Amino acid sequence: MKRKQTLKKSSGDKRRKENSKMKGTLARHLQVQLGISSSTTSTSSSTSFQNLLESVAEDSTLAADVVDDKDFILSQDFFCTPDYITPDNQNLLNSFDFNKENVPCPKSPEKLTTIKRKRCRGFFVTPLSPTSCGSQDIVELATDTFDTDEVKVDRTTVNGAQKTQNHVPPSAVALRCRVMPPPCIKNPYQKDASEMDIDPFGYQRAKCAGLFSAIMGGNGLSRYHTDFHEIEQIGAGNFSCVFKVLKRIDGCFYAVKRSKRQLYQDTERRKALMEVQALAALGFHENIVGYYSSWFEDEQFYIQMELCDHSLSINKVSKLFTEGEVLKALHQIAKALQFIHEKGIAHLDVKPDNIYVKNGVYKLGDFGCATLLDKSLPIDEGDARYMPQEILNENYDDLDKVDIFSLGASIYELIKGSPLQESGPQFLSLRDGKLPLLPGHSLQIQNLLKVMVDPDPVRRPSAKELVENPIFDRFQKNLKA
């Protein structure tokens, strides 16, 4: 361990020496690249140019301090030194006129009339953005999101042709991104951002060198670690683990769900996609957990979602629900079901585990079993405890009514305060539509639940009928009072 530290220190010293040598070399390279000689430039431009060289040299010092030697060599193409990896068919402007005698490396970017000097306050381009990786397209400085300072350099012509563009190869942008992920800046518009027991922002202000190793995944860059700061695991289902994360770029909290297993087969990857495709097709609804984005990484599937406070899982809800709370949850999830059924989608896994609460608003989540009502997609029913008899008999004629049964069974469980059985007499009597009396609750709600779990799907109310049930008028009035 000790030996490692000594080695690190001496290589750091060596780098610093090399960097100061580099300043001179880079200056010479840039002068040649830009076609500027100290004797021909004006005083003001040479001062600006000197600033440019100094700041470029500073950038090179920063890069060299935090990246390895391989990256450092890569960084030379950012400074417009000879670029041997730029492809031959690069898309330079037709009007460019090369003078091969004056330009030492024929494939390097040309001399410029205006140089856009980038001062990096932070590295805002994500490594997986189309402009920064996996592509050999030329990246224009003016189009990315860096803060820019213009440094005017005397108009220089080569064979009379004026150069109007400045280009940076994508490898250079990728390098910048590898040096440091976007900063984690507290979002001032979010009131609850300060209500945390830990300070992720403080953590992110730690030295970027420390972060560098954290953002590297097994096969290179990790989108998850580059874009998000993981705070804690907040849940786990049969297929996924869910984490509370802070998105570095916007300073807001999200839930990111990651598949437990690596999905190698095309069929399982397609299955995983169904969940996000359903969510994306549905769009926004107040009573549905919001969906933001998804991606595969290291063969695992990630979904970025709205962060909720908790689910209604029987293990997580400590207190018994009052009738008013039960009616509120029932009404709001019925509205979510009305919304999705009207879009031709069935959820097929409605249960307390998949109902979330956020700031007192109930939201339906986990669309892993979602399918189309017209039966044109494969049907994969959810938790058997909440499934009606017809679906266990593989009768898929009324898939929307399957959700109504599941919602009735879920609400019954919440009122009862103990988990439903997976088999046995209680399981069977629920599928026969027999609900034991619920002491302390109105007959009105008990009758409503009874009709929701009717063995005949046709007799169950639709989500729309449920939403419009007069039982909620009383509850709505109480809300207004």
Residue 121: CB atoms within 10 A of its CB come to: 9
- Pull the structure tokens for residue 339: 């919304």
Residue 94 interface partner, choices Mg ion, ligand ATP, none, CB cut-off 5-8 Å depending on type? none
- The span from the first CA to the last CA of the chain, in angstroms, equals 68
Closest CB to ligand ATP among residues 86, 311: 311
* Least Å from the CB of residue 407 to ligand ATP: 16
* Least Å from the CB of residue 382 to ligand ATP: 7
- Pull the structure tokens for residue 481: 């009072």
Closest CB to ligand ATP among residues 75, 354: 354
* Least Å from the CB of residue 430 to ligand ATP: 20
* 59, 77, 144, 349: the active-site residue: 349
Of positions 366, 398, 403, 413, contacts ligand ATP by CB under 6 A: 366
179 and 212 Cβ atoms separated by less than 8 Å: yes
Closest CB to ligand ATP among residues 83, 366: 366
Distance CA 64, CA 13 (A): 11
* Contact between 313 and ligand ATP per CB under 6 A: yes
Distance CA 134, CA 225 (A): 19
Distance CA 19, CA 60 (A): 7
- Positions touching Mg ion (CB under 5 A) are 237, 353-354, 366
Distance CA 273, CA 276 (A): 6
- Pull the structure tokens for residue 427: 């399981």
* Contact between 288 and ligand ATP per CB under 6 A: no
Residue count at the site for ligand ATP (CB under 6 A)?
Answer: 23
Closest CB to Mg ion among residues 358, 450: 358
Residue nearest to ligand ATP (CB): 237
Residue 404 interface partner, choices Mg ion, ligand ATP, none, CB cut-off 5-8 Å depending on type? none
Largest Cα–Cα separation, the chain = 98
* Least Å from the CB of residue 367 to ligand ATP: 9
* Least Å from the CB of residue 276 to ligand ATP: 12
Of positions 163, 223, 257, 460, contacts ligand ATP by CB under 6 A: 257
Distance CA 476, CA 90 (A): 65
What is the side-by-side strand order in the sheet with 361-364?
A: 310-311, 355-358, 361-364
Residue 242 interface partner, choices ligand ATP, Mg ion, none, CB cut-off 5-8 Å depending on type? ligand ATP
Residue 307 interface partner, choices Mg ion, ligand ATP, none, CB cut-off 5-8 Å depending on type? ligand ATP
Residue 235 interface partner, choices Mg ion, ligand ATP, none, CB cut-off 5-8 Å depending on type? ligand ATP
- Pull the structure tokens for residue 55: 């700041």
Closest CB to ligand ATP among residues 144, 381: 381
* Least Å from the CB of residue 317 to Mg ion: 15
* Contact between 234 and ligand ATP per CB under 6 A: yes
Of positions 180, 246, 289, 370, contacts ligand ATP by CB under 6 A: 289
Closest CB to ligand ATP among residues 14, 260: 260
Which conformational region is residue 298 in: left (phi greater than 0), alpha (psi within -120 to 50 degrees), or beta? left
Of positions 122, 237, 344, 455, contacts ligand ATP by CB under 6 A: 237
Distance CA 45, CA 313 (A): 68
Distance CA 292, CA 225 (A): 17
Amino acid in position 372: L
Q: Which residues contact 286 (CB under 8 A, 6 or more apart)?
A: 332, 335, 361, 363
* Least Å from the CB of residue 414 to Mg ion: 16
Of positions 115, 168, 179, 255, contacts ligand ATP by CB under 6 A: 255
Residue 413 interface partner, choices Mg ion, ligand ATP, none, CB cut-off 5-8 Å depending on type? none
Whose CA is closest to 297, among 216, 230, 366, 176?
216
Of positions 356, 386, 405, 412, contacts ligand ATP by CB under 6 A: 356
* Least Å from the CB of residue 223 to Mg ion: 24
Q: Assign 3-class secondary structure to 268-305.
A: HHHHHHHHHHHHHHHCCCCCECCEEEEEEECCEEEEEE
396 and 378 Cβ atoms separated by less than 8 Å: no
Is 349 one of the catalytic residues? yes
* Contact between 201 and ligand ATP per CB under 6 A: no
Residue 358 annotated in ligand binding: no
* Contact between 352 and ligand ATP per CB under 6 A: no
Place of tokens 């297993």: 261
Q: Which of residues 377-436 bind ligand ATP (CB under 6 A)?
A: none
Distance CA 269, CA 279 (A): 16
Closest CB to Mg ion among residues 144, 353: 353
* Cα 196 off chain centre by: 21
- Pull the structure tokens for residue 381: 């029913």
Closest CB to ligand ATP among residues 207, 310: 310
* Contact between 355 and ligand ATP per CB under 6 A: no
Q: Residue 449 is inside which H or E element, if any?
A: helix 443-452
Whose CA is closest to 167, among 142, 133, 132?
142
Q: Which residues bind ligand ATP (CB under 6 A)?
A: 234-240, 242, 255, 257, 289, 305-308, 311, 313, 353-354, 356, 365-366, 368
| Binding-site entries for ATP | 257
- Which residues are known to be catalytic? 349
